[in-house]
């Protein structure tokens, strides 16, 4: 196959996976760009931030950071707390992103929740180039976010139809991805550890600072019950 055909095939395969993200990112990105606009920032801000940071929740928080006094240390601590979950994505993607050459830099740079989730779970057909598939998923997702933010900043006040509740599309997407993961595996220790740690940490620490305790809880459970989990994993594979 010629290189052009390889690229086109990967793009065609990747695009349908990104459709829910197109809807979700245009909506959320638009809301973010509009928020920046009404907060008094030029469209250049959301444009630069959506390209450089490319992390939705932090970008929303950054709006209020930019409106307060300059506090570099607090900014870094806040950003690390919000983004810490990416450490887990990286550990999960070590194998899949191995040997991707120059693409790897972009794949890791653009590894948001959504691109990670798709690239981790997608069943990529044998005849589709994996590297280009990952690349196009990441690139499409980022282009949706950046264009959504830009449109929101420029045309936010022109939109009047009722989009209340549309942000649920991201929750629904993670629910289906979770369901897929659940159905793929026979034993569910890890999923249950994730829920238990998440819910307990949320109740104890509140919505602003529960993620790091929740991640610590997951690591602790997976560490303590490693023997059991590995045994489950083996028996799970044997019965397939």
Residue closer to another protein (CB basis): 8 or 48: 48
Positions 50 through 109 that interact with another protein (CB under 8 A): 52-55, 58-59, 62, 65-70, 72, 75-76, 79-80, 83-95, 97-99, 104, 108-109
* Subset of 184-213 contacting another protein (CB under 8 A): 185, 188-195, 197-199, 202, 207, 210-211
Tokens of 170: 């991201």
Residues 6-35 that bind another protein (CB under 8 A): 16, 19-20
**CA distances for 59 relative to 16, 88, 132, 168, 182, angstroms:** 26, 20, 28, 18, 31
Q: Decide: residue 189, CB within 10 A, 0-12 exposed, 13-18 middle, 19+ buried.
A: middle
Q: Which residues of 208-234 are buried (b: 16+ CB within 10 A; e: fewer)?
A: eebbebbbebbeebeeeeeeebeebee
The least CB distance from residue 239 to another protein, in Å, is: 17
Q: What is the closest distance, in whole angstroms, from the C-beta atom of residue 205 to another protein in the complex?
A: 10
Choose, by CB under 8 A, the member of 113, 132, 144, 150 that binds another protein. 113
Hey, CA dihedral for 197, 202, 207, 212, is it positive or negative? negative
Nearer to another protein, 1 or 235 (CB): 235
Q: Which of 7, 154, 166, 212 binds another protein (CB under 8 A)?
A: 166
């Amino acid at each position: 196959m010629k290189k052009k055909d390889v690229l086109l095939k990967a793009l065609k395969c990747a695009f349908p996976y990104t459709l829910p993200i197109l809807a979700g990112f245009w909506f959320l990105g638009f809301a973010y760009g509009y928020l920046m606009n009404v907060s008094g920032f030029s469209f250049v801000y959301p444009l630069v931030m959506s390209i450089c940071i490319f992390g939705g929740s932090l970008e929303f928080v950054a709006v209020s950071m930019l409106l307060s006094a300059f506090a570099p240390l607090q900014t870094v601590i806040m950003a690390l707390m919000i983004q810490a979950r990416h450490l887990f994505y990286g550990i999960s993607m070590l194998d899949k992103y191995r040997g991707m050459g120059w693409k790897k830099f972009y794949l890791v740079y653009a590894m948001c929740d959504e691109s990670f989730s798709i690239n981790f779970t997608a069943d990529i057909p044998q005849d589709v180039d994996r590297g280009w598939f990952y690349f196009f998923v990441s690139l499409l997702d980022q282009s949706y976010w950046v264009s959504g933010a830009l449109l929101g900043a420029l045309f936010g006040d022109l939109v009047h139809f009722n989009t209340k509740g549309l942000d649920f599309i991201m929750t629904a997407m993670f629910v289906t991805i979770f369901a897929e993961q659940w159905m793929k595996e026979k034993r569910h220790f890890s999923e249950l550890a994730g829920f238990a740690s998440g819910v307990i940490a949320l109740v104890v620490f509140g919505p602003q600072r529960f993620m790091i305790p929740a991640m610590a809880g997951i690591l602790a459970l997976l560490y303590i019950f490693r023997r059991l989990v590995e045994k489950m994993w083996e028996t799970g594979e044997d019965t397939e």
